[in-house]
Amino acid sequence: MNATLTHTRNSLPEKNRIEMAALLQCRLADSIDLMLQAKQAHWNVKGPNFIALHELFDKVYEDTGSAMDTIAERIVQLGGTAQGTIRQAAQTSALPEYSPDISSSRKHIAELAHAIAFYDELLQQAIAHANKLEDPDTADLFTEISRKLEQNLWFVEAHEQAET
């Protein structure tokens, strides 16, 4: 991320704003990646639970898109420039690659659940880092996204669990 910020009256010290903007940029790339992984699953899911999974994967896509927008706006609030093109996200995302060859609904569920959990772990680290830099607003932003993400993880994982 570019270490030059635009002028803002934000009360965080510039050094902290630079570091937080860079961290936010990494999570923005992950959000874009997760959003498109959810859409990949949405487009390609098949099987007896098609409509339920198709709609669920679209919900993950929409919620992640909302998170992506919130993260990008926070970068700009701190004086940074959000880098949100698909090429930038592909170069920066820390998420594991989503397999393009999945045909089974169970595999889509497992792959998407893994991506969501992996992203949530990155958010937990980001919350701790934001707190360390005394940026409660960014920590709260990450917490809000994590809360919604964990709900979506629960919904996706529920499809993995066998009936008892």
For residue range 86-107, list pLDDT tens digits in order: 999 999 999 999 998 998 999 9
Phi, psi at 86, each rounded to 5°? -60, -35
Alpha-carbon distance 23 to 52, whole Å?
Answer: 35
The pTM of this model reads 0.93
| 147, 63 contact by CB (below 8 A) | no
pLDDT tens, position by position, 107-160: 999 999 999 999 999 999 999 999 999 999 999 999 999 999 999 999 999 998
pLDDT reported for residue 150: 98
Give yes or no for residue 14 having a pLDDT over 90: no
In terms of CATH, what superfamily is 14-158? Ferritin, core subunit, four-helix bundle (1.20.1260.10)
Alpha-carbon distance 18 to 61, whole Å?
Answer: 29
